[in-house]
Amino acid sequence: MKNDDRALIIKVCCDVFEQLAFLFAEEIDMDEAESSSESFYQAFMTFTGEQKGSVDIVVPSELTQNLAYNILGTDPTDGLAPGTAEDALKELLNTICGRILTSLYGDMAVFDLSVPQTISLSLEQFKSLAETSDYITFDVESNPVFFRIVF
Amino acid sequence: MSFNILIVDDSKTIRSVIKKTLEIANIPLGEIHEAENGSEALKILQSQWIDLVFADINMPVMSGIEMIEQMSRDQILEKTPVIIVSTEGSKTRIDDLFKMGVKAYIRKPITPEMIRNVVRDVMGDYDEK
CA gap B2, A150 in Å, rounded? 47
Query: Residue A131's pLDDT band (boundaries 50, 70, 90)?
Result: confident
- C-alpha span between B25 and B114 (Å, rounded): 9
Phi/psi at A120 (nearest 5 deg)? -90, 145
Distance separating alpha carbons of residues A117 and A93, to the nearest angstrom: 10
pLDDT at A75 over 90: no
Other C-beta atoms within 10 Å of B20: how many? 15
**Domains of chain A, earliest start first:** 3-150 (3.40.1550.10)
Q: How far apart are CA A130 and CA B58, in angstroms?
A: 31
Read off the pLDDT of residues B61-108 as tens digits, 9 standing for 90 and up.
Answer: 999 999 999 999 999 999 999 999 998 778 888 999 999 999 999 998
- Summarize pLDDT for B2-61 with one digit per residue, the tens: 999 999 999 998 999 999 999 999 999 999 999 999 999 999 999 999 999 999 998 999
Element (H, E) at B77: none
Nearest of A26, A18, A16, A52 to residue A136 by alpha carbon: A26
Nearest-Cα distance to chain B for A65, in Å, is 12
Task: State the Cα–Cα distance between residues A118 and A89, nearest whole angstrom.
Answer: 8
| Contacting residues of A for B89, CB less than 8 Å apart | 98-99, 101-102, 107
Considering only alpha carbons, which residue of chain B is nearest residue A83?
B12
pLDDT per residue as tens digits for the range A38-74: 999 999 999 999 899 999 999 999 999 999 999 988 8
B90 neighbourhood in chain A, CB within 8 Å: 102, 107-111
Q: What is the mean pLDDT of residues A86-104?
A: 94
Tell me how crowded residue B27 is: count the other CB atoms within 10 A of its CB: 21
Q: How far is it, in rounded angstroms, from Cα B68 to Cα A54?
A: 27
Q: Could you tell me the pLDDT band of residue B129, with boundaries at 50, 70 and 90?
A: low
Q: Is B10 on the interface with A (CB under 8 A)?
A: yes
- B101-122 pLDDT, tens per residue? 999 999 988 889 999 999 999 9
**What is the structure's pLDDT at B1?**
83
